[in-house]
Structure 1
Amino acid sequence: MGIRTHVRVGVEWINDFHSDACEQADLSYCDDQVEGFFNEMGDHGHTKVFDWGNDNAWETDFRSPDVGGDSLNWSDDVHFCLVNDHGGNWDDTVHLAFSHAHDHCQVAGTDMRLGRKNLKWFGALGCDAVLNTNADHIGAVWFPPMQGVHIVCGFIGTAADSWWTDDLGEDYAEDICDGDTIAGAWVSDAYSFWTGDDSIAIAAGETRDDAINRREHETLDWRDSNIAATNWLAWKYRT
């Protein structure tokens, strides 16, 4: 089955960190993963909007204007956004790390409002999108930031920075452009026995059945199937 709907795509990535307040261990393959997705989506006729890396990737691109950010002009001005960097999760709050403080070194999930404008699908490819698959934990982490976004993709616990997975983004884009489901393709493609990556996709819905239906069946053609209120979450994962 082919995809008829075209989407706008944006990616951000960080490999190189500095010896300053934002210091983290350097990474090697964040650009490969998300730029592979970006370019493959473009090859299938989707619109490539932004590709920001290292010091040009800013936490304000994900922080809501409600708390001084600029997300409506960047991460939420596209339909599909991937970010790949160091991730963390404490106090039931996901955090994304950046190499340049603009204005901060990290953005917390509680400062994101994913889906307020155009964003439908979001991928956090660093560590710790969630720490486990307990319902209380997943709900606490993702109910606050999921405010119109359809599906969030990520990893349970750590994600490897490895050449084994540098084709992840390209493979994922090819699958969803061929009509595979957003959640199912992610869970299958992002899981890696060799690196120990455990994948998870979390779907939102107005009702329980709506969330489950999106988890099982949503493709890129569901772009305009909006969610009026995120009342339920349904997820699938592979470990």
Structure 2
Amino acid sequence: MTIGIEWVNNYHSASSNLANNDDNARGIYGRLHGQCQVEYGDDLAWDQDFEEAEAGTPSAGSDQIYADDVDIVFFSGHGMRFGASFGVKTLDDGVARASNMRLGNKDLEWLVADGCEMLADDTGTVFSRWGRPTSRGLH
């Protein structure tokens, strides 16, 4: 089993900084007993790692070599109803939006998200946000 972990503690004043997300991600990896193929944190964790090429604007996605190139991927950082927030905004806009993701169309089977609000369902829209086309082969 191949594993990917990405985490953000340092948000460069764009959002409040967080603590221990690196410990959360490495802790998950340590429990899964697989091969860590992707590990990026803080300034090396990018939204485009989770986004499909040609799916958003700008179309900077590279999930096929990061998040969608492992069996299970874990993200720990700020979240919102429509995606995950990253500290670096110079490569893309710093937000991996569900609408820009096509996870599972290559290798990914499991997405684990440790971010507030990402799966909030008080409005009954969680499946329209995170279902197809976002999840294309996830369990």
TM-score (structure 1 length as normaliser):
0.53
The SS at the match of 2:54 is helix
How far, CA to CA, are the matches of 1:130 and 1:82 in structure 2? Answer: 14
Runs of 4+ in 1 over 6 A off after TM superposition: none
- 2:47 aligns with 59
The SS at the match of 1:37 is helix
- 1:146 aligns with 135
- 2:66 aligns with 74
- 2:99 aligns with 110
Larger fraction in helix = 1
C-alpha displacement of 1:133: 5.8
Letter of the 2:51 partner, please give it: R
How far, CA to CA, are the matches of 2:104 and 2:41 in structure 1? Answer: 22
- Matched residue count: 133
How far, CA to CA, are the matches of 1:80 and 1:119 in structure 2? Answer: 6
- 1:16 aligns with 10
How far, CA to CA, are the matches of 2:104 and 2:134 in structure 1? Answer: 9
CA RMSD of aligned residues (A): 1.4
The SS at the match of 1:52 is strand
How far, CA to CA, are the matches of 1:83 and 1:130 in structure 2? Answer: 13
C-alpha displacement of 1:84: 0.7
How far, CA to CA, are the matches of 2:119 and 2:30 in structure 1? Answer: 27
Letter of the 1:34 partner, please give it: A
Greater RCO between the two (CA within 8 Å, min separation 6)?
Answer: 2
How far, CA to CA, are the matches of 2:134 and 2:76 in structure 1? Answer: 17
The SS at the match of 2:125 is helix
- 1:98 aligns with 86
How far, CA to CA, are the matches of 2:136 and 2:65 in structure 1? Answer: 16
C-alpha displacement of 1:66: 2.5
How far, CA to CA, are the matches of 2:93 and 2:121 in structure 1? Answer: 27
Give the unaligned 5+ runs of structure 2. none
How far, CA to CA, are the matches of 2:125 and 2:31 in structure 1? Answer: 33
Give the number of the structure whose alpha-carbon radius of gyration is greater.
1
Show the 5 A alignment for 1:118-197. 118-132=107-121, 136-143=124-131, 144-150=133-139
TM-score (structure 2 length as normaliser):
0.89
